[in-house]
Structure 1
């Protein structure tokens, strides 16, 4: 475990890196963005009423994959592709891009900013380093990682040629810098065995990060990565803990964040994310994860869209589509599952929490047919809105149906404006 001196130093370092307290980050206007295919929609957020109002949209050159705001809050970056989930030559696509936008500080409206970059493969994740000087892009198939400079005017710049080849693992899914901005972590999911092919192991790759250069520091792969399929991670806002969502195992792992920006050798805690962990159905997986702004809770999506034949139609086979809610022990970092809140939708791929910590919005990818006795009903795609209580638990408020006939609702997120 982390000793008291290390704990105190890391907590101070994290606060200094963020430069803001929870109360400060909760001020100002917040907006919500959600994509449907190539279109990215802007919603006003009313955290008091737990409500969204759609305002405008922008078009991307291909389907939105992921997006990330600049630390200055003046710019916004979107990765897009006509590739599809699942990997393999059939789904890779041939149009892949990174785009920059200027953000209206009053409304959140997006305006194209500078040249759109053509990428060589489907980008699955994009993020901006803590200093705002570099855009980092992860690619799942083939697994890869690239870094681009961000020019002084916020436009996307040149590719940073790496002096040494980064250790990119198998099926990378997320890249983020740590709170110190001196290291970066690449989350590599691996793959389940399928079609006669054995399992591909997962891992967490930690790099030194300096002026866009990545230096291999450490690789974390419990059991040599077999039975370890991480998808996303998030950092505690003030304490030295990292929470990792294991997609392929439906688990939550907690790691210690060390002074040098690496992780504890082994996970500190390993927990099941499902409400019924002994009744895991085919197709079950875990998704995105976010720590509450106050650091007392962590939220993780459970998702399943497996289907079976019924009356000549493909209907939901059963499983958990919900939000797992965890309380966090403020001394040890241990998470305790306190709720699995019904998602009221299929495949909650992404979600966002407003900076005041009062509202959570989860976006489902697409509709699905549900069996209701001898009948079949359509469960629409949508935005599921919850109010967050003082105890961290979620209360369902409403669901906004979303038409996904032109593309999946693949990404969503809350953004605080300047």
Structure 2
């Protein structure tokens, strides 16, 4: 794997002494998970060491102590692609001085591809979402911080269609399984989406409630995040390119959509399939960010080239009285398909990850935009300024996840 840099200004060479040691960024290419130092002041990433998982990295989540990282991996293709046979959760310790990862014990096996992983609030349990078939499972975290045995649930639970994320509410009382469903086609009816909400205690899920406007039709939720201090939840609706806000109160999620916002800068000018993606609330609670993704291609001169669309981060200002998200900026990520992004814990940077290279037309020529990372500075007004991008040669693999952990 090679790392090249480009953007509005070429980044200076950064020594270990110059790099910030307070934040570590981890990004994968296939089964390789690479650690980068984050220089927030210089808006730079400095490549360090790489660890290798049993299969392709799907998602990762830090322990509440920020001393361990749980990584889900799988040899299955994404979506409904070819099923593999290797599916695991692996624990790594995080060196508090350097951010380096060291494997902690042996991985545990999983039944199918894990699409998302998180822990409950105190990190006593690991929650894993599976997309095909849609499922959620809970695993104990052992005293040595390794993943342990599965928690047997008291009764069968409804896990919807195509789970994409699982999160515990900040009070640790509820678990929400985000199930996207599937878009319809001329030959297949739409599969409804839903937010599956469970009461949660000590790893046990009970009393499932399904939040599915219009029976889940034209409702394809993908990803959610919580406001840090207010009882507000923000959900990206992938298949309809919307950002919904829900209220939380008295131990339940209100099923009514409190506010709806567009994700696209030009919602009436969709040139190819658009898909709303990751959503993260700024740690100060004043802004929420969402990803817009497009990657469809069309043939040109015997090659498949980008068909057009919005690959951007949309910034919303949050009304501090009502929680309403109001779009204030759409900024292109300078690459194709920002599958994930993360906000630097110091609140100064946002980094977006793009999983594959894509050919683009430039007049009569065809150029390739590589996979990689785009770095943005976050202003006091919440708006983003593009700083630089890092091109990453992924070969025949996929860059599927990245995230940052404070040290």
Change (3 A) 1:28 1:369: closer
* Corresponding residue to 2:93 among 81, 86, 102: 102
Task: Note the 1:52-201 alignment, pairs <5 A.
Answer: 52-87=45-80, 90-194=81-185, 196-201=187-192
* Corresponding residue to 2:309 among 312, 319, 323: 319
Partner of 2:193: 202
Contact 1:92 1:141 in 2 (8 A): no
Which whole-Å deviations, capped at 9, do the CAs of 1:333-366 have from their partners, x for residues lacking one? 0001111111100110011101121100000011
SS of aligned partner of 1:399: strand
SS of aligned partner of 2:175: strand
User: How far did 1:414 drift?
Assistant: 1.1
Task: Note the 1:3-402 alignment, pairs <5 A.
Answer: 29-87=22-80, 90-194=81-185, 196-260=187-251, 262-402=252-392
What is the alpha-carbon distance in structure 1 between the residues aligned to residue 318 and residue 41 of structure 2? 25
Which whole-Å deviations, capped at 9, do the CAs of 1:23-59 have from their partners, x for residues lacking one? xxxx981111100000001010111111110111100
What is the alpha-carbon distance in structure 1 between the residues aligned to residue 91 and residue 374 of structure 2? 28
What is the alpha-carbon distance in structure 1 between the residues aligned to residue 177 and residue 271 of structure 2? 28
SS of aligned partner of 1:194: coil
Contact 1:368 1:380 in 2 (8 A): yes
Which structure carries more helix by proportion? 1
What is the alpha-carbon distance in structure 1 between the residues aligned to residue 353 and residue 49 of structure 2? 18
Contact 1:132 1:150 in 2 (8 A): yes
Contact 2:88 2:107 in 1 (8 A): yes
What is the alpha-carbon distance in structure 2 between the residues aligned to residue 74 and residue 371 of structure 1? 45
Which whole-Å deviations, capped at 9, do the CAs of 1:87-108 have from their partners, x for residues lacking one? 1xx4222211111111111111
TM-score by length of 2: 0.94
What is the alpha-carbon distance in structure 2 between the residues aligned to residue 310 and residue 82 of structure 1? 32
What is the alpha-carbon distance in structure 2 between the residues aligned to residue 333 and residue 149 of structure 1? 35
What is the alpha-carbon distance in structure 1 between the residues aligned to residue 207 and residue 113 of structure 2? 23
Contact 2:345 2:406 in 1 (8 A): yes
TM-score by length of 1: 0.91
What is the alpha-carbon distance in structure 2 between the residues aligned to residue 370 and residue 171 of structure 1? 31
What is the alpha-carbon distance in structure 1 between the residues aligned to residue 186 and residue 337 of structure 2? 24
SS of aligned partner of 1:248: helix
SS of aligned partner of 1:67: strand
Contact 1:349 1:364 in 2 (8 A): yes
Q: How many residues are aligned here?
A: 388
Change (3 A) 1:324 1:280: same
Which whole-Å deviations, capped at 9, do the CAs of 1:360-402 have from their partners, x for residues lacking one? 0000011100001111111111100000011111000000111
The RMSD of aligned alpha carbons is: 1.2
Contact 1:382 1:401 in 2 (8 A): yes
What is the alpha-carbon distance in structure 1 between the residues aligned to residue 295 and residue 76 of structure 2? 20
User: How far did 1:153 drift?
Assistant: 1.2
User: How far did 1:165 drift?
Assistant: 1.6
Unaligned stretches of 5+ residues in structure 1: 1-26
SS of aligned partner of 2:331: strand
Contact 2:21 2:38 in 1 (8 A): no
